Structure 1
Amino acid sequence: MSTDTQQETRLHGGRLIARRLKAHGVTKLFTLSGGHIFPIYDGCRDEGIDIVDVRHEQAAAFAAEGWAKVTRTPGVAAVTAGPGVTNSISAIASAQSNNSPVLVLGGRAPALRWGRGSLQEIDHVPFVRPLTKLAATPDTTAEIPGLVDEALATAIAPHSGPTFLDFPMDHVFSEAEEPASDATLPTPHLGAGADGNAIERAGALLAQAERPVIMAGTNLYWGHGEVALRALVEQLGIPVFLNGLARGCVPADHELFFSRARGTALKGADVALVIGVPMDFRLGFGDSFGPETELIAIDVAEPVREHPRPVAAELYGALPATLDALRVAAAGGPDRSGWHEQLRKVEEEKHAAEAIELNDERAPLHPMRVYAGLAEVIDRNAIIVCDGGDFVSYAGRVVDSYEPGCWLDPGPFGCLGTGPGYALAAKLARPERQVVLLLGDGAFGFSGLEFDTLARHGVNVVGLMGNNGIWALEKHPMEFLYGYSVAAELRPETRYDEVVRALGGHGELVERPEQLRGALERSFSAGVPALVNAITDPTVVYPRKSNLA
């Protein structure tokens, strides 16, 4: 090889990073500017990767997770050293709890001066490692490409999740030979299903069930299991309930989809397929099911925690293959129409009971009335992003999803401030769709200035705020427990809509129900990010039942 050719193949570390990202299909880098990562920007600029900058590093990492959630491909964020990395920690933890495939790239003080007190010098890896599947620092510039390949592959391998790499400043500014590489990311969902003996045991159990039920969650979505699930549901006549990212994997208007009858169904089932969802607080640590319910646990890989109660069968492997094999093994079975009718009756009764709140004409507004107004203007494939406490909990009851990837909530880590980052990524990934950001006034305080980010990048997300002037998720339970509340008040009726106007967006104030539709329609047609600031009644108490601890 000639000297000229050698020179042509030597690239600085940031360009080596960008080349590997591009090779694996990465098109967006979410970031907040920092000198330690300038070479990564230079590389992405040369490779045609869009650089999307935000106002706080947690928003960059949340946007990376939002991208992953909408596209089912790795989302990538780059943050500067020290506080840049520490500011991203909550988002990394959120990605861990949601099994979101995310790669966070961090700057790092120069290796040549390590330990001498360089700007923002801190060893990130020890405190990031517990939150990630892989956390590492390359020792040389030449190690960078292979480590990027490894981090992306690790992020998407079951159980998917976040990975982290930081790059000493001297390494990313230095050059190295670009190695020949044909490394490609795996497609785990196309692999082998669960063990055949386990399929046979589960199939025999399910074939005899008179009152089967399916409870599916986020890993159903990560495992691309929706087509196989729907075939199983329809052929075997099994009622299905969905939470997390699984919402929309069976359309909300499917005859075997249920939501309001979940308590009745899970308690009354003789066999339950628990697919891609842990039995955590959302399922009462297993107690949401009846004491006699036989459980079949199905997931993309073995669980990271032990099941809180015994299960009759465990099926771990690629979900399409697993669910297809189970459908065949459980063919036949008794007539289940009576079970369907029982659950449909409960579903309809609860729908009817909700109508009172949905049509409540009080001012300030009942949160349910806000969602009745939203239902009049959103498209079937709208992407709903959730960022809040009680206001968003009401949405979980009444806002329906019809396609996969249309419901983005914080997940079991429950971190506020996720919404603007998620919404930014969702609209960039799906610009043709409505993206609606549901948020409380409390959540706005975490990352409301990201409306500046949305405006600068021309991302016309519509925010819908339930503004009750309190931390309702804490105020009402504390008053129930103690008869008083502290640290639970916000400034009532703050004009967050005017804040959004000042940041370059469109703002609407809604104080009465009849103002809702017009405000929403103007916001969707504004062509800029918008916020509808709906003043809601602080005395409304969400009917909370879940045991959080």
Structure 2
Amino acid sequence: MIPLDSNSYLTGAEYLVKALANKGVKKIFGYPGGAIMPVYDALVDSELDHILCRHEQAASLAADGYARVSGEIGVCLATSGPGATNLITGLANAYMDSVPVLAITGQVATSLIGTDAFQEIDIFGMTLPVVKHSFLVQSAESLPEILTKAIAIAQSGRPGPVLVDIPKDIQVTEFNLISSLHSTELGDVNESKNKTENDAVKVHSIDQYAALMTQVQSLLELSAKPLFYLGGGIGIAKCESLLRQLLHQTSIPAITTLKGIGCYGEYSLGLGMLGMHGHQAANLAVQNCDLLIVIGARFDDRATGNLERFAPNAKVIHFDIDDAEVDKRRFADVSIVGNLTDTLKAFSELFMLNNVNHRQESSERPDWGKWKEWCRQQKKDFQWQYNPPGNGIYAPRLLKYLTETKDEQRVIACDVGQHQMWVAQHCQFSAVNRHLSSGGLGTMGYGLPAAIGAQFAEPDSCVINVCGDGSFAMNLQELITLVRYRLPVKILLIDNQSLGMVRQWQHLFFKDRFSEIDLSDNPDFVQVAQAFGLSSMRITHKHEEQAGIDWLFSEKGPCLLQVCIDNEQNVWPLVPPGADNSEMMVQSDG
């Protein structure tokens, strides 16, 4: 803990590392350099556990994965110039997916700012569009207040990344800690965090809130085909148990976004993911419902397809913590802005008190029974098929084996591409934070660093990185990090020797005019993994699928299973550009 006697003089760097430890930070992912060197010097005597990644982008993505799995803030550290700019993709990724990340960057000395000094860059200005807030520290004495605010902002309301840029001279300047600290800055940020959060969500007065819940009740009573549309906000708010209670109370069918996968567990009326590569039953349900109950989700273009024809007959109830998401793309007939834990409790109580699902014969309210049976039938009619002809490996079947073989404590961190959609379609998850995927930004190279962060967050869990050969190559250097820290991450590399998703689109929509998607000159990834120190093996035929998965889980340390598939395997179904979600292309279409 930080000493608080009258002789509490610390440099800015010393204060930073001590304060982070006091505020509950355990892991920092980073890479050293000149302008951040005083902080790295202070880390030598710190209780913080610094993880040396081999690229700053990987450090920010690892912090993202750590935050998603642990529920705590993820922290990354980099020097000025290229070190700082390399963090930007990871910060944008966290911003798009609402992940609390604190990025700390070194900056040139204050006297050199604006002189085009060596490795000087305006990282404050460059990151403004992709962070919740940015700070340029202008005095050592301001560090306590800035750090407290930065952590509170990152974690409160709708979470997101915050940047703190610290000039090198401020890192080495001594200051009197006692005279700089305020009562909320002694290491416990709860008061500041709660104030920020309460300010963000107290949008409605009590009377307004009651009136809005009455409107919710009215829409439910008039609805014949209600549908829950569930997003990643449920996991962020840590209210999955409340949601599952509500689902079982109401027996209303449910669909999820990519980031909402895992929120409802094993719910019999869960229809899967909607959208461009969503389940047919989910997409048909959303197009036929008459009431869409949106919880912690935004109307992302990949989810809605043609927005003008999305859920054309539906009224919309929208629950979210971020007022900016309400009415942004689809008008909400009723919107309730606030903490999802509170709103779901209120919704559950409303349902229990009014028993809106109880349909007596004399009631004029519509019966939901036919709608639920229709949804069950769609789920049955469009269940996945896993036996295509041929002796080659079929990626969806392999991924089905993956989650049937290992217990529910597994975490799967995806890269971006066809394999990402196959994981979303064919793997089962017990909670939102068991499925790590770059939803908003679509960051290739996300999976391996995110898996590293996840493994540090839960050392005893089985963490799997499912990747494609294109995305794997983007942060392949982090295999060194796996070996250095003896992290038992399992890498499932689905290798079709092409940029599969781009190839699929060029095949379907660009008349087979293939452009720069050929990766047939990839190295031998089994030998590459072995050179880094990982156990590795390759499978190529259908009869090897289960044995390959069994080998992956039997290995004690980090390992890689290369899975060779035909490069003409496509992701189905597919909602083509400009179409609505009922206009899905299936395998026979191309």
Q: TM-score, normalised by structure 2?
A: 0.87
1:482 aligned to 2:511? yes
Equivalents in 1 of 2:413, 2:91: separation in Å? 18
Instruction: Give deviations 1:244-298, integer Å, cap 9, x for gaps.
Output: 34322211x2223221321121112111111111112122264574211011111
Counting only pairs closer than 5 Å after superposition, residues 410-489 of structure 1 correspond to structure 2 as 410-480=438-508, 481-489=510-518
Equivalents in 2 of 1:285, 1:100: separation in Å? 28
**Alignment-derived partner of residue 498 in structure 1:** 527
Equivalents in 2 of 1:48, 1:409: separation in Å? 31
Question: Residue 201 of structure 2 contacts residue 321 of structure 2 at CA under 8 Å; is this kept in 1?
Answer: no
One-letter code aligned to 1:354: Q
Equivalents in 2 of 1:40, 1:5: separation in Å? 23
1:244 aligned to 2:258? yes
SS in structure 2 at match of 1:437: strand
Counting only pairs closer than 5 Å after superposition, residues 99-498 of structure 1 correspond to structure 2 as 99-178=98-177, 179-180=180-181, 181-182=185-186, 183-185=188-190, 186=193, 188=197, 195-251=209-265, 253-259=266-272, 260=279, 261-281=281-301, 282-284=303-305, 286=307, 289-304=310-325, 306-330=327-351, 331-333=354-356, 334=359, 335-351=367-383, 353-357=384-388, 361-363=390-392, 365-480=393-508, 481-491=510-520, 494-498=523-527
Equivalents in 1 of 2:76, 2:41: separation in Å? 15
Question: Residue 506 of structure 1 contacts residue 531 of structure 1 at CA under 8 Å; is this kept in 2?
Answer: yes
**Alignment-derived partner of residue 588 in structure 2:** none
Question: Residue 448 of structure 2 contacts residue 472 of structure 2 at CA under 8 Å; is this kept in 1?
Answer: no
Question: Residue 193 of structure 1 contacts residue 318 of structure 1 at CA under 8 Å; is this kept in 2?
Answer: no
Task: Give 1:90 shift.
Answer: 0.9
Question: Residue 220 of structure 1 contacts residue 299 of structure 1 at CA under 8 Å; is this kept in 2?
Answer: no
Structure 2 CA distance for partners of 1:356 and 1:287, relative to 1, 3 Å:
farther
**Alignment-derived partner of residue 585 in structure 2:** none
Question: Residue 275 of structure 1 contacts residue 299 of structure 1 at CA under 8 Å; is this kept in 2?
Answer: yes
State the identity as a percent. Answer: 24
Structure 2 CA distance for partners of 1:244 and 1:519, relative to 1, 3 Å:
same
Instruction: Give deviations 1:192-216, integer Å, cap 9, x for gaps.
Output: 6963322221122123322211111
Question: Residue 440 of structure 1 contacts residue 467 of structure 1 at CA under 8 Å; is this kept in 2?
Answer: yes
One-letter code aligned to 1:391: H
SS in structure 2 at match of 1:489: coil
Equivalents in 2 of 1:10, 1:520: separation in Å? 56
One-letter code aligned to 2:132: K
Structure 2 CA distance for partners of 1:369 and 1:244, relative to 1, 3 Å:
closer
Task: Give 1:76 shift.
Answer: 0.6
One-letter code aligned to 2:369: S
Question: Residue 318 of structure 2 contacts residue 326 of structure 2 at CA under 8 Å; is this kept in 1?
Answer: no
SS in structure 2 at match of 1:538: coil
Structure 2 CA distance for partners of 1:548 and 1:293, relative to 1, 3 Å:
same
Question: Residue 367 of structure 1 contacts residue 537 of structure 1 at CA under 8 Å; is this kept in 2?
Answer: no
Structure 2 CA distance for partners of 1:548 and 1:151, relative to 1, 3 Å:
farther
Task: Give 1:425 shift.
Answer: 0.8
Question: Residue 11 of structure 1 contacts residue 177 of structure 1 at CA under 8 Å; is this kept in 2?
Answer: yes
Question: Residue 506 of structure 1 contacts residue 523 of structure 1 at CA under 8 Å; is this kept in 2?
Answer: no
Structure 2 CA distance for partners of 1:429 and 1:361, relative to 1, 3 Å:
farther
Question: Which of 253-262 and 160-169 deviates more?
Answer: 253-262
**Alignment-derived partner of residue 37 in structure 1:** 36
Equivalents in 2 of 1:520, 1:177: separation in Å? 58
**Alignment-derived partner of residue 513 in structure 1:** 542
Equivalents in 2 of 1:306, 1:153: separation in Å? 27
> What is the root-mean-square deviation of aligned Cα atoms in Å?
2.2
Task: Give 1:401 shift.
Answer: 0.7
Question: Residue 235 of structure 2 contacts residue 431 of structure 2 at CA under 8 Å; is this kept in 1?
Answer: no
Equivalents in 2 of 1:42, 1:191: separation in Å? 41
Counting only pairs closer than 5 Å after superposition, residues 3-14 of structure 1 correspond to structure 2 as 6=6, 8-14=7-13
Question: Residue 225 of structure 2 contacts residue 371 of structure 2 at CA under 8 Å; is this kept in 1?
Answer: yes
Equivalents in 2 of 1:422, 1:443: separation in Å? 13
Instruction: Give deviations 1:352-404, integer Å, cap 9, x for gaps.
Output: x42324xx5522x2222321332342222211111030122112111011123
Counting only pairs closer than 5 Å after superposition, residues 49-60 of structure 1 correspond to structure 2 as 49-60=48-59
SS in structure 2 at match of 1:414: coil
Question: Residue 228 of structure 1 contacts residue 323 of structure 1 at CA under 8 Å; is this kept in 2?
Answer: yes
SS in structure 1 at match of 2:284: helix
Equivalents in 1 of 2:547, 2:541: separation in Å? 12
Task: Give 1:489 shift.
Answer: 0.6
Q: TM-score, normalised by structure 1?
A: 0.93
Question: Which of 368-377 and 480-489 deviates more?
Answer: 368-377
One-letter code aligned to 2:320: D
SS in structure 2 at match of 1:46: coil
**Alignment-derived partner of residue 554 in structure 2:** 525
One-letter code aligned to 2:145: G
Question: Residue 12 of structure 1 contacts residue 39 of structure 1 at CA under 8 Å; is this kept in 2?
Answer: no
Task: Give 1:176 shift.
Answer: 1.3
Structure 2 CA distance for partners of 1:328 and 1:209, relative to 1, 3 Å:
farther
One-letter code aligned to 1:87: N
Structure 2 CA distance for partners of 1:236 and 1:544, relative to 1, 3 Å:
closer
Instruction: Give deviations 1:226-260, integer Å, cap 9, x for gaps.
Output: 22212221112211222234322211x22232213
Task: Give 1:497 shift.
Answer: 2.0
Counting only pairs closer than 5 Å after superposition, residues 13-28 of structure 1 correspond to structure 2 as 13-28=12-27
Question: Which of 240-249 and 210-219 deviates more?
Answer: 240-249
Structure 2 CA distance for partners of 1:176 and 1:499, relative to 1, 3 Å:
same
Equivalents in 2 of 1:272, 1:424: separation in Å? 37
Question: Residue 244 of structure 1 contacts residue 407 of structure 1 at CA under 8 Å; is this kept in 2?
Answer: no
Structure 2 CA distance for partners of 1:531 and 1:348, relative to 1, 3 Å:
same
Structure 2 CA distance for partners of 1:157 and 1:11, relative to 1, 3 Å:
same
Equivalents in 2 of 1:463, 1:500: separation in Å? 10
Equivalents in 2 of 1:211, 1:69: separation in Å? 34
